[in-house]
Amino acid sequence: MEKVYIDSDLIGRSFICSLISAITLSLVFILLRSTYFSFMELIIFSLIIFFLYLFIATPLQIKLNQKPKSFSIKYLLIYMIGSAITVGIMQIIGQENPFNSIQFYLLVLSSAIIFWIYDSVLLQRRE
C-alpha cells in the first residue's frame, strides 16, 4: 500500500469545497422544488448534503488531487458515479425506485457538476 501525503491546506480547502457545494446544491434544490424559500430548510438541507459530500466525495477528491487537473471530464465522471450511488441509496432508503424518477438524474447531474466546478476552482491547483 502506498503512502499518501495529505497537507493541512488540502484538507481545509476540501472542507470549504464541500461546504460551498452543499449550500449551492441546497439552494438549487429548494428553488426548483419549492414555491417559497425557507432559511431553516436551507440550513437543514445544507447540513445533510455537506455530510454526504464530506464522507463520500472528499476522499475521492483527495485521491484525485494527487494528479491535479482542472475541469477534467474524467474527474466529472468519477464524481457522477459517486453521486449516482449516493443518491440511489438515499432514494432506496426512502423506498423509491431511483431509476424511474427524473429527480434522480437531475440530482446526480447537479450534485456532481456543482462539486466538480468548486473542486476545479478551489483544489485542482498545479504546483
Q: Encode the chain (127 residues) as per-residue pLDDT tens digits.
A: 566 667 778 888 899 999 999 999 999 888 877 777 789 989 999 999 999 999 998 888 888 888 888 899 999 999 999 999 988 888 888 888 888 888 889 999 999 999 999 999 988 765 4
Q: Reduced to 3 states, what is the DSSP secondary structure of residue 45? A: helix
Q: What pLDDT, on a 0 to 100 scale, did the predictor assign at position 80?
A: 95
Helices (H), 57-101: 58-64, 73-93
Task: Give pLDDT, residue 4.
Answer: 62
- The Cα-based distances of 66 to 5, 60, 74, 112, 123 in angstroms read 9, 10, 14, 19, 11
